[in-house]
Amino acid sequence: MCGITGKYNFKYSEPIDRSVAEEMIKVITHRGPDDEGSYFNSNGNLFLGHRRLSIIDLSTGHQPLSNEDGTIWIVFNGEIYNFPELKKELISYGHKFRTHSDTEVIVHAYEQWGKESFSKLNGMYAFALWDNKEQELIITRDPFGIKPVYYFVNNNSIIFGSEIKSILTNSEVSREVDTTALYNYFTFTYVPSPYTVFKDIFKLKPGHFISIKSKSVSIKRFYYNTTQIINYKNEKEIIRQLQEHIYNAVKRQMISDVPIGAMLSGGVDSSTVATIMSQISDSPIKTFTVGFEDDFELNELKDAKFIADKIGSEHYELVVSSEDYNKLLPFSVWHMEEPVATGSILAYYMICKLAASKVKVVLTGQGADEPFAGYPRHLGEYYGKYYRAIPMPLRNFIISPLINSLKRNEQLKRAVFSLEEPITEKRFLRIYQTLQKELTKELYTQNGFDWESLTLGAIQEWQNDAAGFDDLNKLLYSDSRLSLPDNLLLYGDKMAMAVSLEARVPFLDLELMRFVESIPSKFKINGLTQKYLLKKAVSKWIPEEVIRKKKIGFATPIDTWFQNELKSEVEEKLLSEGSAIRKYLNAEVIKKMIEDHAAKREDYKRPLLSFLTFEIWHEMFIKNSNKI
């Protein structure tokens, strides 16, 4: 895993300022401390930059890398797990290789198949490829958006990078808030691709590439999941196939020339990955777990230790306090670069830091809940049709008022609010949003602001692909391409790379995902059992008590901290006269939200975290605009 950056003055062909190019590489040093490199074309108007974290082919994997005659150049971030098979096929066509790296396979695959080669790559990646013969620059992001890539385009240039900091080193890039993206952020607690909160800086959508050729810029999609739901009859046969896919995915992603370990929570997903790794590895693997102080009831330290002892891993753990959170939150915002308000980000950074002191690569259990239906919203969507069958007067005048009168219970209130909506896309929006409609109207300072139309586009983007799916599988499909790449995978990349650690996600292996997305909903939820088929399959590897355990997820004590230890910090940041959030949201409403949360009348931890994160982000990247 590495960091890429670059610039192409495609219209007027002015030479790239080499001092700026050096700075673009320098600001992403943390992504690749082992090596750096750059390439300038003969005209000097194209620059590709690279920072390397050496994982595969330690001695000859320097980048930028070219083909034999120097007509194709690439900078690459990520891993291609099926590169040995592709390399063997390419050799049969007469291609000759100078290195043992997966990067060179991409170059020769492009020579052989052109842009169609991108859909053959099973891995996590973002790369920029310069075709000198065609005078074309191509920037590509993997199908599930595991690796990020950002870009800025004006009428003369495109500037891109693994991180926004590289783009901001250029004087032509101004620092302004994109208000459309900002309200998307307040709705989702992250910004769906292709937008960022920076005006005119975008994220390339998963499975897409940018082409810059003949002085024009176009964006095209290269990866389409053409999987259809298959009416499987034999449950045992599906389980056998699923076991095979999971095992092969973990085995593929253990490829490395440096030590690897596993993030271990003690839940089903990470326990499965760690157990399979321990069976494949010739020596004990290293596992890493994070917990919280003050007897936090959702700690998973004991559960993780149980699995670690069972598989005989070399186990490490750490404990996070509210003081750690307050001190390091600005650090995490700095490395995230765009506001993402997920409570586990800081804890994930700290466990990555611990892991990076022992290994260069970790495998995680991330990415299983979305396709296998592991979240409460999935259970609600699966059975929501029965709620909508209740007569409307009974729902509107008895059930809904009763639920909304309860203290806190944010999840239950959101369920009632969302499940009553009969239109699929609008229902999904209600499921995702963190604020009730009436509260949103009070918060937003712009009169007549149509937040619903604004945010629906992010959901509708992926629904055409899933047109033939049932409602639950439609939601799972959206989850895997919306909240995963722009929230969980984004912070997974940024926090790991902040400490020069590569984090892999075997549950998002392309072959595994194609199979999982062909499975009907009835095998994903059975009664009240979520991830039903996955749990059946992984019983081959992990104990029954782990499978039966109630799902915790990456839970944190932010709820309690915002009521007590961090309440004054939140008030000071959000309610001071100079706060940035006052420009966009009603400060009096925010004040009442803080008070209601502290008094345990309502559960506002998610929106309050989103407000706090935005305030810190704005101070760092907009207010102090003279700093990177």
Q: Which residues pair with 79 in a beta bridge?
A: 124
- State CA 271 to chain mean position distance: 21
Q: Give the residue carrying structure tokens 């909508």.
A: 388
State residue 181's pLDDT score. Answer: 92
State residue 295's pLDDT score. Answer: 61
CA 429 → CA 347, 380, 385, 432, 507, distances in Å? 28, 14, 17, 5, 25
**pLDDT averaged per 10 residues, the chain (length 628):** 92 93 95 90 95 70 89 96 96 93 95 96 97 97 97 96 97 93 91 95 97 95 84 90 97 89 94 97 94 69 93 93 81 93 88 95 96 94 92 89 81 84 90 82 71 75 84 94 94 95 96 94 95 97 90 68 84 90 92 90 90 94 74
Q: Residue 266: left (phi > 0), alpha (psi -120 to 50), or beta?
A: left
CB atoms under 10 Å from CB of 116, counted, come to 11
Specify the DSSP class assigned to residue 482: T
Residues 6+ apart with CB under 8 A from 554: 265, 343, 344, 347, 348
Q: Would you say how long the chain is, in residues?
A: 628
For residues 25 and 14, the answer to whether their CB atoms sit within 8 Å is no
For residues 120 and 135, the answer to whether their CB atoms sit within 8 Å is no
Domains of the chain with CATH codes: 2-221 (3.60.20.10), 225-556 (3.40.50.620), 558-623 (no CATH)
Residue 407: exposure state from Cβ atoms within 10 A (0-12, 13-18, ≥19): exposed
Active site residues: 2
303 is in an annotated binding site: no
For residues 66 and 79, the answer to whether their CB atoms sit within 8 Å is no
State residue 109's pLDDT score. Answer: 97
Determine the 3-state secondary structure of 225 from DSSP. Answer: coil
Which residue type, as a one-letter code, is found at position 234? N
Closest C-alpha among 456, 450, 454, 451 to residue 482: 456
Q: Residue 207: left (phi > 0), alpha (psi -120 to 50), or beta?
A: left
Q: How many whole angstroms separate alpha carbon 384 and alpha carbon 414?
A: 13
Determine the 3-state secondary structure of 175 from DSSP. Answer: coil
Q: How many whole angstroms separate alpha carbon 269 and alpha carbon 564?
A: 33
Determine the 3-state secondary structure of 298 from DSSP. Answer: coil
CB atoms under 10 Å from CB of 175, counted, come to 16
Q: Which residues pair with 139 in a beta bridge?
A: 128, 210
Question: What would the two tokens of residue 579 be?
Answer: 């706060």
State residue 62's pLDDT score. Answer: 84
Q: How many whole angstroms separate alpha carbon 332 and alpha carbon 345?
A: 7
Residue 182: exposure state from Cβ atoms within 10 A (0-12, 13-18, ≥19): buried
Closest C-alpha among 189, 173, 170 to residue 181: 189
Strands 260-263, 286-292: pairing kind: parallel
493 is in an annotated binding site: no
Q: Phi, psi (5° rounding) for residue 61?
A: -95, 25
DSSP characters over 427-438 = HHHHHH-SS-HH
Element counts in the chain: helices (H) and strands (E): 28, 19
Determine the 3-state secondary structure of 132 from DSSP. Answer: coil
Q: How many whole angstroms separate alpha carbon 368 and alpha carbon 508?
A: 8
State residue 169's pLDDT score. Answer: 96
Q: How many whole angstroms separate alpha carbon 23 and alpha carbon 302?
A: 45
Q: Residue 626: left (phi > 0), alpha (psi -120 to 50), or beta?
A: alpha
Determine the 3-state secondary structure of 530 from DSSP. Answer: strand
Q: How many whole angstroms separate alpha carbon 33 and alpha carbon 42?
A: 28
Which pTM was predicted?
A: 0.93
DSSP characters over 56-96 = SSTTT--SSEE-TTSSEEEEEEEEETTHHHHHHHHHHTT--
Q: What is the CA radius of gyration of the chain?
A: 24
Q: How many whole angstroms separate alpha carbon 397 and alpha carbon 523?
A: 35
Cα within 13 Å of Cα(372), Cβ side: 23
First vs last C-alpha separation in the chain:
23
CA 30 → CA 333, 357, 364, distances in Å? 15, 14, 21
